[in-house]
């Protein structure tokens, strides 16, 4: 996961599939370590000039309910950070 996050930090929005993928149900992206071969995902979105990882959860194919929970948690956390940024 750390190596994938370093790639995200370096390449940002230029990080290609299969290392990341847009989520249809949320305004987030899914960081896919090991080109999607990892059972873990990180859920992130750009906030200002930074990519913010809101949560880490399982791959949807491995554990669909855990994936959905992590997406919801990430969305809530990222929205809190966006609200803090807007209040400055």
Q: What is the pLDDT of residue 43?
A: 98
For the chain, what's the residue count? Answer: 88
Q: Is the pTM of this model over 0.75?
A: yes
**Pairing relationship of beta strands 29-31 and 50-58 according to DSSP bridges:** unpaired
Question: From first to last of its 88 residues, what are the pLDDT tens digits of the chain?
Answer: 999 999 999 999 999 999 999 998 789 999 999 999 999 999 999 999 899 999 999 999 999 999 999 999 999 999 999 999 886 5
Which structural domain range is residue 27 located in?
2-86
Kindly list the distances between the CA atom of residue 47 and the CA atoms of 59, 63, 81, in Å, as whole numbers in the listed order: 24, 28, 8
The structure tokens 């990430």 sit at 74
Tokens of 23: 């989520």
For the chain, what is the domain count? 1
Cα distance between residue 85 and residue 20, in whole Å:
25
Q: What pLDDT is recorded for position 11?
A: 95
* Alpha carbons 73 and 3: distance in angstroms, whole number: 22
Q: Report the distance separating Cα 26 and Cα 11, nearest Å.
A: 22
């Amino acid at each position: 996961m750390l190596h994938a996050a370093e790639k995200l930090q370096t390449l940002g929005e230029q990080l290609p599939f299969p290392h990341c993928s847009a989520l249809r149900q949320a305004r987030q992206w899914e960081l896919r370590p090991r080109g999607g071969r990892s059972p873990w995902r990180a859920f992130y979105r750009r906030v200002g000039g930074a990519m913010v990882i809101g949560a880490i959860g399982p791959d949807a194919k491995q554990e669909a309910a855990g994936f959905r929970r992590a997406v919801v948690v990430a969305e809530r956390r990222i929205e809190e950070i966006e609200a803090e940024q807007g209040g400055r």
